[in-house]
Amino acid sequence: MTYTLLPTPTRLPTDLPPHAVIHADQLHKTFTLHHQGGAQIPVLAGTTLTVQAGECVALQGPSGSGKSTFMRSLYANYRIDQGAIWVKHQGDWVNLPQLPAHQLLAVRQQTIGYVSQFLRVIPRVPALEVAAEPLLDLGVEPESARDKICQLFTQLNLPERLWHLSPTTFSGGEKQRVNIARAFAVNYPVMLLDEPTSALDAANREVVMALIAARKAQGCAMVGIFHDDEVRERVCDRTLHF
Ligand SMILES: Nc1ncnc2c1ncn2[C@@H]1O[C@H](COP(=O)(O)OP(=O)(O)OP(=O)(O)O)[C@@H](O)[C@H]1O
């Protein structure tokens, strides 16, 4: 398959909607498998998405169509081949693929939260500390950070006996709730949600849907992959099809 590559847009379009906070402009991404004869897997070919404050956009499409690749590109976890990823950071538009590492770190600390499906656990670090880390990195006092996480753990029905244990041995749903508390503790203007309810029971799914709705009402722009139709229909305003 051949793609006609468009020139990389490097300027922020002038016609973005007034409350736009993220604008992915014509993203192209092809994986090259160097250890498998250089096989090429074209995944994104001009994907464009603008999200405004207070909106939630669902990424939907068949397995392997590129949803996760797009989401990881929005967090600059994957390097795109062409395109621009504009994010409003502290009042200024920045293009993620062109940022030096320290500025990308600042964008991730202050502007874009990412709820991955799986929690990265470190042996011997208790759940409370794992979840409080992003707040502490922002300079929040340890006591306030701890209070905020305790409040979220309670809301998410994470049993108190687990709070001081390392999540290494937690169940999938327990780990997922630690991850959600970690991301929702910070008031990010943009959040990327990768199947945030995949391991949760019905009651905790409701809690997460309520957290998402509350954050949207505060003006957070969200992009998410939701395999659960009910969750997607209830929290998303529109869909980007892959
Ligand atoms: N790191 C990688 N290296 C090589 N190929 C990759 C990599 N990540 C994804 N791919 C390929 O890119 C394509 C899109 O994968 P991606 O995970 O983005 O799809 P998806 O729509 O999120 O799928 P699913 O719904 O199954 O999670 C697949 O063909 C996959 O094999």
ipTM of this predicted structure: 0.97
Residue 123 has pLDDT above 90, yes or no: no
Residue 1 pLDDT = 47
From 28, 63, 69, the mutation candidate for ligand 1 (largest count of ligand atoms within 8 A of CB) is 69
20-241, which class in CATH? alpha beta
Pairing of strands 39-52, 20-33: antiparallel
Query: What's the rounded mean pLDDT across residues 122-130?
Result: 91
Q: If pLDDT is split at 50, 70 and 90, which confidence band does 131 have? A: very high
Residue 9 pLDDT = 56
Apex CA 16: angle with CA 15 and CA 20, to 5°?
165
Residue 2 has pLDDT above 60, yes or no: no
Residue 146 has pLDDT above 90, yes or no: yes
Q: Is the CB of 73 under 6 A from ligand 1?
A: no
- Take residue 237 and report the two structure tokens written for it: 């305003």
Q: Is the CB of 43 under 6 A from ligand 1?
A: yes
Residue 133, phi then psi, degrees to nearest 5: -55, -50
The one-letter code for the residue type at 96 is L
> CA 171, 175, 178, 184: dihedral to nearest 10 degrees?
-130
Q: Which of 6-10, 184-188, 230-234 has the lowest mean pLDDT?
A: 6-10
Share of the chain above pLDDT 90, in %: 86
- Contact between residue 59 and residue 4 where contact means Cβ atoms under 8 Å apart: no
Per-residue pLDDT tens digits for 67-103: 999 999 999 999 999 999 999 999 999 999 999 999 9
Q: If pLDDT is split at 50, 70 and 90, which confidence band does 23 have? A: very high
Q: Coil, helix or strand for 12?
A: coil
- When the pLDDT of each residue in the chain is averaged and rounded to a whole number, the result is 93
Tell which residue, 117, 215, 203, has the closest CA to residue 235. 215
Q: Is the CB of 64 under 6 A from ligand 1?
A: yes
Residue 119 pLDDT = 80
In the reported structure, the alpha carbon of residue 69 is separated from the centroid of ligand 1 by a whole-number distance in angstroms of: 6
- Model-level pTM? 0.92
From 65, 78, 116, 226, the mutation candidate for ligand 1 (largest count of ligand atoms within 8 A of CB) is 65
